Chains A and B, each alone.
Chain A
Amino acid sequence: MVHVVMATGFLLILIGFYGALTHRNLLRMIVAFTVADTGVNVVIVSVGHMRGRSAPILDRAVAAADAVQRIIDPVPQALVLTAIVIGVGVTALMLAYAWRIYRQHRTLDIARLTALKG
């Protein structure tokens, strides 16, 4: 099960990379990146998963005393949360950029933004 999830995560990353490298439209590239980001998050979660354990929330279901044996590793979960936040931030920034580029150049084609080169 874990391996399937992990494989799915990597597949998403590859799909995202493929999309980002083949689509010339800025918005499509941004979407591709969010796909890849999701893939990364899935991979992280799958790495942190331990069979037969519960979520790392200390409440009535899991007592603090035996938490170490009962819950899965909370760190990847925390990482995923942070990564998602950062991913959102970057995506927002990219969208802002895309908007600004469109306003300036009236195009969303990455191949036409080559004023700087060499």
Chain B
Amino acid sequence: MVINALHILATGLGAAFLTGLLDEKRNGLAFMITLGALAFMSAVSAGWLVLFAATGAHPMDIQTAGTPPPFAIALRMGLAEAALLTLINLAGLFAAMHMGETLLARGRRAMAVLLVMVMALCGLVLTRDLFNLFVFFELIVIATGGLVLLSDDERAVSAGFKYLIVSQFISVLLLVGIVFGYHATGTLNIDGMAEQGSGAFALAFFLILIAVAAELKPFPANGWALDIYESAHPGFAALFSAAAASAALFAFDKVLAIGGAEWLPVATGIGIVSFVAGNLLALPQTNDRRLLGYSSIAQSGLILVAIGQQDILGEHYLFIAGGLLLSHAVAKAGLYWLSGFVAGRELTDWAALRQRPLLVLAFVTGIAMLSGLPPFPGFYAKWELVHLLANEGRLALLGWILFGALVEAGYLFRWFGYAIKRESAHTIDCPPDRVIPVIAALLAGWALGFAWGELSGRSNLLLVLPLLFALAFLLLEWAPAWLKNTLAIGGLSLYFLQTWQDYDPLRLIFLVIFTLGGAIIFLASFHAHGRRIGFYPSAMTMFAGMVLLLQATDSFGFFAAWELLTIGSYFLILRGKESEPHALSYIVFSLGGAFLILAGFAIAAASVVTLAPSGAVSPAPTFEIASLATLAQPVAPWVFLLLAIGFMTKTAAIGLHIWLPGAHAEAETDVSPMVSGVLLKAGLYGLFVLLMSMGRQSLYGVDLVNLMLWIGAITALLGNLMAIFQEDAKRLLAYSSIGQMGYALFGLALMNHLGWLMALMFVINHYVYKSMLFLSVGGVAKRTGTRAMYQMGGLITLMPLSFIATLVGIIAMSGVPPLSGFGGRWIFYNAIMDADTRLPMVLIFLSGPIAFLYLFRLIHTIFLGQLKDEHRRLKEAPLSIVLPQMIYVAILIGVAIFPGLILRRVDAYISQFLPDGALNWEGLTITSQYGWWNPVAIMIVVACIFLLIFGWLLFVNRKAQKVKQFNIVFSAERPYRPETTHFAWNFFAPYKKAMGFLVQPFVTRFWGAITDLLHTAGDLGRRLYNGNGQIYAFHFLIFVVVVFVSQLGM
């Protein structure tokens, strides 16, 4: 049995009075009463929530004074109200707990004010009476004015006053609006007014609406709110952001119902402007709480957009708006409470959190919730919202939402990067009364994620086995790294064994790389000691995302998996010592790409549905990936474009590549092969899926696949060209990955049988040799303590196994027979014989030999040449790092001799899509329509010739004497210093002279200019807020006028 909702208000009010009656000195008792009251209020609300959620009961009206409206105030309790009340009361409870110390010091009056505040927020949600709404608003104003003063920050006083100034203006407008509304309708009941419509009192309604809107702190009428966010006690700021903003949003929704559909655009307009502007202005912030304030404004704006779009959201309205609202409220409360732990107010001071992994988890949960990442409610809500917008063709709004979300993710993840990478002098102490609220927010976040997953009607991400496996590592953080590593390897292998039969040959190849390939790289992770906190959850989330990507058959599963692997890999990359800026650019590019994919899916969903054979009426917000094939003009090419750019962001096609070198090079030794060898393939998989389902598309007469062909060729050339000028070994490999992905993209875009086979061959080969090279170079870097190649040299005798791995790797990569790279080249030549376009081949022809240049540089400057004095005692890399390399050597040789084992099945599979040009695999010779290739024969002939000549040399030169390092003469001197003798720095100077113009950092400058532009815009925008309370009042009036004029215009 649930308790009458009136008791919530009565309890709050009663407890407030009760504390007032207490003795001054009995603060402890007063505090217990406060907590008890808030807990009781929370329990009552939660009871209602359970009731509504369990039974799906209709909302019920609660009459006061025993009379129906309009003669008395009515309250209403429904599902949304119950959820909000639970949120508000719990926020109040935990805020009280968080502020316990302050409240006890300030005494019972402060507690009474807090109780009034929470009670008034509850009232705001419950009431259906307009004047009652006004009263609660004013109570909130007064309570806020009181609670602001709890802060230790002296500036809070002026902030509070600015708030009071603006709220005076607001209350005047509200009151005037209410009274004229009453005059026109004869009732103060919201529902009563709504029945009569606002047509008769449009101006009065406008005043009401704008006054309530102003409580949402819309841009630009929000300077006062920012000052409060910045200076108030974090416990209160949490309440202000989580509870007050949510209640105000709900009030706005109620009031909006009076106006009806014609006023919805006002909400949308105010919302989207606030969302974009709030996020832009947050960009240049350095103060954590102010940044959170801007983010709150932006999030309120987003929810306002959802409110404004309720005409198209239909039955999903509560799911979407509620998901956004609860995500925001929980995350923001958690983050504000967290900020209470951090002593400094700079964003970089959050580095102190690292002392407590649990707090880091809470931090990252908050950020993920705000950014709308899976598995949190914002993710599901965003998915639905975007789809419904696309379905209605509201693409501009959709674009702005995604843009704002990207900016938001940008500054949030930049902040997270600071927390993980910067140093902080402060220490953190964790009194339980402060930890509990944070943990509560953390748990609430995950619980909401679960709930929204259940409500979504799609697969609940938190019930998906691979992700659960990954998250289980969070609970294992106490365990030593070797144990977790063994579990990870076991998990990946087991997953492969359990599922490999379910896949077609193409997916099977990706599955092998994603699972077994990952497991091999994990062997290298045995070198790590200690607990390696954070590594395994991140890595396994990435792998979970990748296997889910392969499993996904519908667009939702695909996108969710895509986001998961992006997040996991981001955390993984961020672990590198110097990787903070690179991880940031990685996540921004990746999320940008992901948003394009989301938009593409949404647009596709809108028209896939209209084509559905059943003639379904209601648009399904998800569709089978395969039905991309059924898309028609004019939508299809746009969808293709969006998806292709999204996927190409992941494969680092030229123009979108600038995140890759840093991200891959700065990552840890075993992470580089994971993100390079394994992760890049996810992008290729996406492109495979895209091209298999959609085929050729053209837009304004431009053949998009042809465009991809050019992009692939240019990427291959420039990636390789940039690689040859790197001094840093891992950067060289990273740029080389760009080039290799260019090749693969090129192969795919050839759109013929052999082109795809070649791309697939690159998928396999690139995984093997790039993982191997990254491990080998990583091992060397670990031993030498540097990645600069010119500081190495002559390591061949000290690290022979690493040398062999590198040697085999570069032979395979350069395509020299007899190793497996040659197969790729051979297929490439056969593929281009069939191609329609010839010009891009020129670039590919050039990039091949250039690859040779950087490969030689890699092996020469590290392993050959002169050994440095400080390296004379180096040992071979640790066994755990060498072992996977040796496995790769074996694989490479195996693939070189028997490429048919894998490829012939795929060859047959590709024939479904592109029947012409399949290879003939009879016997040992592989035959195409133009030529042939016999890997076994090549291997044997080469081996025989080599051994014969080697034997001959041994015979004539059996007594060769090994000489010392400096036993050479050049320029009439005998050298004695390895540094001046080792030729390594600026290795390809002439090339730079001749071709350097091609590798000017145009792209870096372009994206740099874009980010600068955004920062400048944000910086200019924040100058609006000059700190003067009167100016803020002007902002408010200008806001009113602008909204009024634009509403007239509409």
A residues sitting closer than 8 Å to B (CB atoms) are 13, 16-17, 20-21, 24, 26, 29, 33, 36-37, 39-40, 43-44, 47-48, 75-76, 79, 82-83, 86, 89-90, 93-94, 97-98, 100-101, 104-105, 110-111, 113-118
Contact = CB atoms under 8 A, between A and B. Distances in A.
A37 B1027 CA distance: 25
Interface in B1018-1040: 1022-1023, 1025-1030, 1033-1034, 1037
B1032 to A, nearest CB: 10
A82 B131 contact: yes
Of B146, B157, B230, chain A has the most CB atoms within 10 Å of the CB of B157
A104 B169 contact: no
A104 B161 contact: no
A115 B183 contact: no
Nearest to B155: A115
Given A37-B172, A97-B145, A116 B1027 contact: yes
B1027 A20 contact: no
A115 B158 contact: yes
Contacts of B318: none
Contacts of A116: 155, 158-159, 226-227, 230-231, 1027
Contacts of B183: 47
Interface string B139-156: 001100110010000110
Given A33-B168, A79-B131, A90-B142, A117 B1026 contact: yes
Given A43-B179, A90-B164, A93-B142, A104 B1027 contact: no
A49 B698 CA distance: 71
Q: What is the size category of the interface that chain B forms with chain A?
A: 35 or more
A75 B182 contact: yes
B440 interface: no
7 contacts: A21-B1034, A90-B141, A94-B164, A110-B161, A114-B1027, A116-B230, A118-B1025
Contacts of B165: 20, 29, 33, 110
B356 to A, nearest CB: 30
Given A20-B169, A79-B131, 20 more contacts: A13-B172, A20-B1030, A29-B1030, A36-B168, A40-B175, A40-B176, A44-B175, A44-B179, A48-B179, A93-B146, A97-B164, A98-B161, A105-B158, A114-B1027, A115-B155, A116-B159, A116-B1027, A117-B227, A118-B1025, A118-B1027
A82 B136 CA distance: 12
B821 interface: no
B882 to A, nearest CB: 54
B142 A113 contact: no
Given A13-B176, A75-B182, A20 B161 contact: no
Contacts of B176: 13, 40, 43
B179 A79 contact: yes
B161 A94 contact: yes
A6 to B, nearest CB: 10
Interface string B170-212: 0110011011101100001000000000000000000000000
A9 B141 CA distance: 24
B172 A36 contact: yes
Contact of A76 (B141, B172, B179, B1028): B179
A82 B1026 CA distance: 35
Contacts of A29: 165, 1030
A101 B145 contact: no
A55 to B, nearest CB: 18
B135 A100 contact: no
A29 B180 CA distance: 26
Contacts of B149: 100
Interface in B713-767: none
B138 interface: yes
B142 A89 contact: yes
Of B131, B149, B175, B1025, chain A has the most CB atoms within 10 Å of the CB of B175
Interface in B267-303: 285, 290
Contacts of A24: 1030
B172 A113 contact: no
Nearest to A41: B175
A47 B158 contact: no
B160 interface: yes
A115 B155 CA distance: 7
Contacts of B145: 90, 93, 97
A58 to B, nearest CB: 15
A91 to B, nearest CB: 9
Interface of B: 131, 135, 138, 141-142, 145-146, 149, 154-155, 157-162, 164-165, 167-169, 171-172, 175-176, 178-180, 182-183, 188, 223, 226-227, 230-231, 285, 290, 1022-1023, 1025-1030, 1033-1034, 1037
3 cross-chain pairs, A with B, having the tightest CB-CB distances, nearest first = A114-B1027, A117-B1027, A113-B158
A86 B140 CA distance: 11
A47 B180 contact: yes
A45 to B, nearest CB: 9
Nearest to A39: B172
A44 to B, nearest CB: 5
Given A40-B175, A82-B131, A21 B1030 contact: yes
Contacts of A104: 154, 157
A28 B958 CA distance: 106
A36 B171 CA distance: 10
A116 B1028 CA distance: 9
A101 to B, nearest CB: 5
A20 B1033 contact: yes
A79 B183 CA distance: 12
A110 B226 CA distance: 17
B128 to A, nearest CB: 16
A82 B164 contact: no
A90 B223 CA distance: 20
Contacts of A17: 169, 172
Given A89-B142, A90-B141, A97-B161, A20 B168 contact: yes
Contacts of A16: 172
A117 B1029 CA distance: 10
A76 B1025 CA distance: 38
A29 B145 CA distance: 17
Nearest to B146: A93
Contact of B1022 (A20, A26, A36, A118): A118
A81 to B, nearest CB: 11
B1026 A86 contact: no
A47 B138 contact: no
A16 B1033 CA distance: 13
A47 B179 contact: yes
B284 to A, nearest CB: 8
Nearest to B160: A97
B164 A93 contact: yes
Contacts of B141: 90
A21 B1033 contact: yes
A29 B175 CA distance: 20
Contact of A82 (B135, B142, B227): B135
A101 B1026 contact: no
A110 to B, nearest CB: 5
Nearest to A37: B172
A37 B1029 CA distance: 19
Contacts of A89: 138, 142
Nearest to A118: B1022
Contacts of B159: 116
Given A86-B138, A90-B138, A26 B161 contact: yes
A44 B176 CA distance: 7
Contacts of B1028: 110-111, 113-114
A90 to B, nearest CB: 6
Contacts of B227: 116-117
Contacts of B1037: 21
A47 B204 CA distance: 13
Contacts of A111: 1028, 1030
Of B176, B188, B223, chain A has the most CB atoms within 10 Å of the CB of B176
A101 B158 contact: yes
Contacts of A26: 161
A54 to B, nearest CB: 20
